[in-house]
Chain A
Amino acid sequence: MIDSLARFVRIVLAILALFGLLLLLMPGEGAEADPSRASMAAGPAEPPIPFIRDDVITARDAGSRARLRKPGAATLMGWLAPLAVPSPDQRYVAYSTWDQFQPIDPGLSYAKQGLERGDPVGQPTVRVLDRATGQDEVLEEDAYSVAWNTSGEFAYVKGIDDLVVGHSYDGHVLVREEYDRSPVPWTTAPDRYVVVQWAGERLIAYRIDEGEQLNVVVFDGPGAIRELGTGSSLVAVSPDRRSLITETIDGTDSGRGSTLRLIDIASGQTLATLPNDELVDPATGDPIPWILYSGSWVGDRIVAESPLGIVVLDAAGPSLRVEQVLRFPPNAFPQGVHEPRLLDSGNRVVGWGPVDGDDASGPRRVVYVDCDLDARHCQHGTADGAINFRPLFNPSI
């Protein structure tokens, strides 16, 4: 028995020694980190630029904070366009809201909740906050997605009706010379539009077809609409407002992915193309499956969302190339970082992203992320369950 016990002890000691040896061989804290990934640290609770957090404008700069009469809501546009747009003089903030006419359980079908064809579901509204006085008024009901030009022109979509069960939400694109003047329709027939931004005197928007196919369109004036990208989304508009980058997902012999096109807005001519087989992370050679809309352009640098992280593009030339991909730690942002905004002459990018995956329940938890592209270091805020947490910015100015 003693022999058996001794043998047992020797076996246990051998196993422990082997385990210890494995621990010594494993990489420790001092081991070299993945150079393609940004380092992350918790930052201040408030974002570095003003954000809407439901019914509050929050920012580190106390002077930028404000309370809204209603929560901002991007029900009919997501982040295809900004949720809240400051005026050129920064005094006013135009933002989209939503009135739900009755509680709707998103898990159930409409019919199972007693909603029949023709029943109204809700109504979008554009409101304007005057930061100087605190007044917050309705500008237009059945309206959403605002573009506010340097010259004062104010564009938005006006629906022909409330959002109704069994119907598409069609509307007209309206433009006011100033936000408090009477609107003029720039469309001749209603359709599913989302207004994005001004490019000089031209207005960039989406027209959405069945299947939620996105089409980038440009209005040269009232009734003068051209398509710049069928089945395409808008990545960014150049700082001089003369060109833009579209993204189209299409298939080739080598597979399927995004093709980027640099397009002259006035002529519609393609100035440069970055095909999907050249859309790769230069550090790792990994293909970038797709690029998402609502990026940002400063100087020759563009940032945009991708499933790998934030893609940084260079448009000098004119040409298009991938400069770098700023990857995040695994599972930090399972749904991506949206609406990346370039700051500080293009060396800093701020965005936002859910920290939950698609399989999570309850309200989304969203944080801001603030990254130094040269240092490849990011800070993030604290998730607090806001339904809408979106940056204030005006891409038209």
Chain B
Amino acid sequence: MKTSFKFTRRTVVVVITVVLTLVIPTVPAFATHAYWEFVKGTNRDSTLKWYSRNSNEVRTLMASWRAGSGVSTDPCAIGRGWLPDGWYDSWGHWNQYNGNAIDGRVFWLQNKTCRDGTTRTELFIHSEQTVMNGQDCPTSGDDPQCWEAYYDYESAGCIKVAYPNNGFPDTIGSVHYYFHNLAGSRPTNQHDQWTMSAMLYVD
């Protein structure tokens, strides 16, 4: 008996769906929310991780990137130390933040008190980029909207991630993608001030 296989539209859709499911990471079933974890190593070489967590509080590591914070390991040193340990709410996110010191895709973190009572403020997750998410590298030195070298992982306290320039990966793009698309059941489509509880754990 002669058999034949027809590439119907339905067949094509099924094939594509199967391929995409295998290739693109997805939030595990029944995930309640996702969050970051910043694992301290050195000021220039620490790790920012993205976890999903289900209703049974079981977490799954979904992504991991190199990140940095501060120039000193004293979390009480305003403007110089890395972040204090503990949980942080996110207070907002923007794609085209136009600040005095930071720009572009940024995630605003809550204030946090360190062990001597000093409160760290104005903390963000960000990279070095322009408002429109590009690069501005006018000098051969350290330009604030230009990702030049490993020293750019240092900061006044914020968590810094790389921008795809000078051979570095597109970490800010990846962090941004995961935040919007793989955050579990929590809506993350806003671009403004709003609170998402317990979005970052620093240890």
Contact = CB atoms under 8 A, between A and B. Distances in A.
Interface residues of B, number: 57
Interface in A69-85: 73-80
A336 interface: yes
Interface stretch (B5-13, B48-56, B109-117): B109-117
A109 B121 contact: no
Interface string A95-109: 000100000101111
Nearest to B112: A106
Given A106-B84, A112-B197, A212-B121, A233 B141 contact: no
A209 interface: yes
B148 interface: yes
A165 B155 contact: no
Nearest to B155: A211
Interface residues of A, number: 60
Contact of A336 (B40, B72, B99): B72
A110 B72 contact: no
A104 B152 CA distance: 33
Contact of A169 (B80, B117, B121): B121
Contacts of A251: 141-142, 148-149, 151-152
Contact of A211 (B77, B99, B151, B152): B99
B101 A231 contact: yes
Interface stretch (B21-29, B57-65, B122-130): B122-130
> Interface residues of A: mostly helix, strand, loop or mixed?
loop
Interface string B136-168: 000011101000110110111110000000000
A363 B122 contact: no
Most buried by A among B82, B88, B100: B100
Contact of B72 (A117, A214, A292, A360): A292
Given A168-B122, A209-B122, A292 B77 contact: yes
A354 B86 CA distance: 20
A211 B141 contact: no
A357 B82 CA distance: 13
Contacts of B77: 78-79, 292
B116 to A, nearest CB: 5
Interface string A211-245: 11110000000000000000101000000000000
A307 interface: yes
B101 A104 contact: no
B120 interface: yes
Contacts of A117: 91, 193, 195
A286 interface: no
A214 B72 CA distance: 15
Interface in B64-123: 71-80, 82, 84-89, 91, 99-102, 110-123
A388 B117 contact: yes
A78 B76 CA distance: 7
Given A112-B197, A211-B156, A251-B151, A107 B122 contact: no
Given A212-B158, A214-B156, A233-B79, A106 B114 contact: yes
Nearest to B102: A211
Contacts of B193: 117, 166
B131 interface: no
Nearest to B82: A358
In the complex, the 7 A-B pairs of residues with the closest C-beta atoms, listed nearest first: A251-B142, A111-B197, A256-B151, A213-B101, A209-B101, A214-B79, A109-B87
